Amino acid sequence: MSQLFEAIVQDLQADGWPVLLVPNQTIAVTRFHGEHGQWECQLHLCEEQRQIVFYSLCPIAVPADRRAAMAEFIIRANYGLVLGNLEMDLENGEVRYKTSRDIESGALVEYLPPLLCANVLSLDHYLPGIVLVINGNVSPAEACAAVENAALVLSS
């Protein structure tokens, strides 16, 4: 394990994240329990590119017949996001939230927690809309509006 990856894992553990390491890779797996569900998270260190990528994996796969609607929801949700984005694998319906950052020299402790926090809170925020789209209860536009309006109510 590289010194950089070891330092990242130590920072995660110090912040209370349970960490499992993927053998022979610079990937740390953890879990998060939010207000709307719980899911697996993965931190990938791309040392050659000097980048950290953090994923929250949506706990529900999108059925094939709902993927076009989910793609529209994701486009609507991503518009205007500053830190991170939703993405979907069209082959298997996996949805995930991704945040990433170039690694600068200096303390990881300064920028790792905000990267992770923004990630898990964003998936937790959008998860109810994802469920609405999967269930076909509302259009992608209505699901996105419902999620955004809930955020407005919470912030006022």
Fold classified for 3-155: Yope Regulator; Chain: A, (3.30.1460)
Q: How confident is the model at residue 156 (pLDDT cuts 50, 70, 90)?
A: very low
pTM for the model stands at 0.90
Q: Where are the domains of the chain?
A: 3-155
49-102 pLDDT, tens digit per residue, is: 888 999 999 999 999 999 999 999 999 999 989 999 999 999 999 999 999 998
Arithmetic mean of pLDDT, 122-151: 92
Q: Residues near 104 by Cβ (< 8 Å), separated by ≥ 6? A: 111
96-120 pLDDT, tens digit per residue, is: 999 999 887 555 667 788 899 999 9
